[in-house]
Amino acid sequence: MTPTDQPVPAPRVLSAQGRRFLDAPRYAVVATLNPDGSVLQAAVWYKLQGDAIVFNSRVGRRWPANLNRDRRVSFIVVDGEDYIEMHGEVEIDEDPVRGQRVIAELARRYEPEEDPAAQIAGFAGQHRVTFELRPARVYERFLGR
């Protein structure tokens, strides 16, 4: 491997290239810790909001319950050989109004061809929780191939 093949640590800071990478609607994988210490991974929609990564879930799933117990998270977005990996603790917002607003924004980001009213209706009966990650560590690797 050459030095450019190695991930570049950039504590707490996303590069301009990293921000452009995250602006595209790619899927992320969030890793949390189960009560027994094993790792649980889940694919999530996200958006970059300032210096925070914002993502959202229906209450009742295992990975949000894990974050309620232990706020540490590993978050990675991959496209081919390029990726951004982030680690830190999430802030949790259980406000149901914000939860619905965030999932509606994410649905428009990831499914722009869908009818917005139908998207919102599909989530309306769900209690949603929103997470914000302001990473303590960021690793970026862009090979530019």
Q: What is the pLDDT along the chain (145 residues), one digit of tens a residue?
A: 445 566 655 456 789 999 999 999 999 999 999 999 999 999 999 999 998 999 999 999 999 999 999 999 999 999 999 999 999 999 999 999 999 999 999 998 998 887 767 777 778 788 999 999 999 999 999 987 5
Tokens representing 30? 């969030």
Greatest Cα pair distance, the chain, in angstroms, is 51
Task: Show Cβ contacts of residue 113 under 8 Å, excluding neighbours closer than 6 positions.
Answer: none
Distance CA 99, CA 60 (A): 14
CB of 138 closer than 8 Å to CB of 76: no
Q: Which domains does the chain have, with CATH numbers?
A: 3-139 (2.30.110.10)
CA dihedral (94, 96, 101, 102) in degrees, to 10, reads 30
pLDDT, position 94 = 95
CA 47 to chain centre: 7
What CA–CA distance (Å, rounded) separates 119 from 104? 7
pLDDT at 36: 97
